[in-house]
Structure 1
Amino acid sequence: MKKILVVEDDFDIGLTVEMALADQYVVKILNEASHIIRALHDFLPDLILMDNSIGQREAPEIVREIKSFDTYRNIPFVLFSAHPDIEKIADDILASAYLAKPFSLEDLYSCIEGVLGLKN
């Protein structure tokens, strides 16, 4: 099974995403980004699903940190957020895709399948 790391500081959203994906993927929730590199090392996901704001940190800073390590540089990530400029932020940080909150589970599944190359 493919592994997805969900970086989301809203516990309820993280739990909902985990429950929605758990039948098809191995899912790990990270509620804060201070130990993102350790989580990547321990879990080595096939995809990162990341909110734009994680506590005091923003996705561009977190992505720079991740991409500074050769081992994790090519892990695709999906940015998801209610930020009004989510599309621009996703483009600026070279996200594989983005989802504007609120999103449907159908959109979530479709996005993940597309990024992971699982669509028929």
Structure 2
Amino acid sequence: MFCRLTRSSTGLSPEFMRRLYIAVALPRMMYAAEVWYTPVSRMDDEERLRSLAGITKKLGSIQQIAALKIMDAMRMSLMDVVEIHVGLLPMELMMDKVCHRYVMQLASLPQAHPLHKPLR
């Protein structure tokens, strides 16, 4: 569907495609990431590390397709460069950002909140 929207003849502009990706696709991919994603530096279990690396890789490939279509670049382009030009973080950093934001939300709960006491 994303490929159809990025056609050069009838598609949306790259700016609107980027907005659409950030507003629709990223929240769906990051849904409940704070529950199932653990940053790689904190994991000891080798099997869990491999499974999360696979998930991160699959989500990264989706982001690569979107970045290539937004920038209208060739498939052989360096993805780091394409992601920088499009203005997207690499998937691992994006997932770390989501988890960090969630931890900050939990840390800043008011004292009247029911979860404040168990989290302290």
TM-score, normalised to structure 1's length?
A: 0.25
Look at both structures and tell me which one has the larger radius of gyration over its CA atoms: 2
Report the structure, 1 or 2, having the larger strand content. Answer: 1
Report the structure, 1 or 2, having the larger helix content. Answer: 2
